[in-house]
Amino acid sequence: MAQVLIPTPLRQFADKQDTVEVPGRTIGDILATLTSTYPELRKNIFNDEGKLRSFVNVYLNDEDIRYIGKDAARVLDTDIISIVPSIAGGSLV
């Protein structure tokens, strides 16, 4: 099964695990299974419309899923999926 790496602050919503093995053939399947297993993760990753929150990026190995088919991206058992935030800012309002 593919491994999903859980960022530190979200581990409290995944039984304190830093890595979760999730069955599935596509990114969409895997994220759906992950967030139905751990519903508290769901609202941290998805918005009310079921889309990834604006600051959430998902990587399949080293590639942003937006460039490799998004939810339809195919996943192999040896793959590693990471949840990575977008962060920016500035002193100017």
49 is an interface residue for other proteins by CB under 8 A: no
Length of the chain: 93
- Residue 23 CB, nearest approach to other proteins (Å): 23
- CB-wise, 50 or 89, nearer to other proteins? 89
Rounded Cα distance between 47 and 52, Å, is 6
Compose the 3-42 pattern: x for residues touching Zn ion by CB under 5 A, - for all others.
----------------------------------------
Distance, in Å, from the CA atom of 65 to the CA atom of 63, rounded to the nearest integer, reads 6
Q: Which residue has the tokens 């998004």?
A: 70
Tell me: does residue 89 bind Zn ion (CB under 5 A): yes
